[in-house]
Structure 1
Amino acid sequence: MSGSGFYGKYRGTVESSLDPLGQGRVQVKCPAVLGDGTMSWAMPCVPYAGDGVGLFMVPPNGTNVWVEFEGGDPDKPILGGCFWGVAQAPAVPPVERMKVLKTDTATIEINDLVGMLTITASTPLGDATIEAGPAGLTISLGTQQIALGPLSVSVNNGALEVM
């Protein structure tokens, strides 16, 4: 290898996340390599992919991204990851061993410390939430709730109990 080319990570910005080929590519600006105003389609580097399977999460327009270049070739950009700007990280509980996936309308929280999984989606009727943990499973939408325990099912905080 000659040593010329663009190796390492470069700061970029997502300009378009609507890939006409449906491969999860994003159109990025990367001024340090591509120059000002030039955009290129970057292939995603994902942790899991195969024929019809994989983790498909495309960052929205305006997202700060790390851009790499296959073999150092500026015509072959790779989306290597994303990073937050100042005050952009999602608010998460300050709990050790907490993992969070947050989108515009949904959140998945995994608390490995207590063995709790919480999935929340914002809906026009209120937050829809599923909580699974050592004590059981709770499903709620707004003020309505179903709680499944090891010995009983409770609807709306005891309005109906099934043993």
Structure 2
Amino acid sequence: MTAPAPATKKWGGLYQGVVVSNVDSTQMGRLLVRVPEVLGDDPCIWASPLSPVAGTASGMYVVPLVNSGVWVQFLGGDPNRAVWVGFWRGGAGEVPPAAKTTSPGVPQIVLATPGQNALVISDQSAPLGGITLQLHGPAGPFIKINEKGIELSCGPGLASIQLMGTQVIVNGGALMVQ
């Protein structure tokens, strides 16, 4: 009688990984990640993305920066079949600045790039709440929509148009149309 083959370790659960490369020649959102707890310090593995929305020519596509922290799982516990499923933050400094424009505890959704381009959807009351599309941080152009109206601006102190109720306000009141 032969002895049974030794059991192969299964890697269930989530593991902290770090992005080594975000250049995927297949352009499918794969990341080359290092997962020391599973693979040791040197080996890296390509991890496919888990996306909340995907379909033919549609869905969500996110590519994190190199050295970003990502959560990694292994399909069927197999260390050769990695999937990256989300992000972990190394500290409060990694939270997008646009996420700090709403009071703590107020429901919001923030999508932001490292260049501070952001889409903020907030349940906070006007003027801070509503939907804001911001280019290059608070000093850049923006579009803001909330219960008070719609504002289109080239940035603070620059050209702007506000639609508020029955009024159109241009450049902070230089021209008002009722």
> Pick from 76, 80, 87: which aligns with 1:82?
87
The CA distance in 1 between the partners of 2:9 and 2:41, in whole Å, is 21
Give the CA deviation at 1:53: 0.4
2:10 alignment partner AA? G
* Identity across the alignment (%): 34
Partner of 1:146: 161
SS of the residue corresponding to residue 37 of structure 1 reads coil
Partner of 2:13: 8
Give the CA deviation at 1:58: 1.2
The CA distance in 1 between the partners of 2:111 and 2:20, in whole Å, is 22
Query: Which structure has greater helix proportion?
Result: 2
1:112 alignment partner AA? D
Partner of 2:26: 21
The CA distance in 1 between the partners of 2:11 and 2:34, in whole Å, is 15
In the alignment, structure 1 segments of 5+ residues that lack a partner are none
The CA distance in 2 between the partners of 1:89 and 1:137, in whole Å, is 27
Give the CA deviation at 1:154: 1.5
> Pick from 113, 123, 131: which aligns with 1:112?
123
1:132 alignment partner AA? I
> Pick from 149, 153, 164: which aligns with 1:136?
149
Partner of 1:34: 39
TM-score by length of 1: 0.90
The CA distance in 2 between the partners of 1:86 and 1:131, in whole Å, is 29
The CA distance in 2 between the partners of 1:3 and 1:36, in whole Å, is 20
Query: Which structure has greater strand proportion?
Result: 1
Q: How many residues matched?
A: 160
Give the CA deviation at 1:109: 1.6
Whichever of the two has the greater Rg, that structure is 2
Give the CA deviation at 1:98: 2.8
1:102 and 2:112 matched? yes
2:55 alignment partner AA? G
The CA distance in 2 between the partners of 1:52 and 1:98, in whole Å, is 27
2:24 alignment partner AA? D
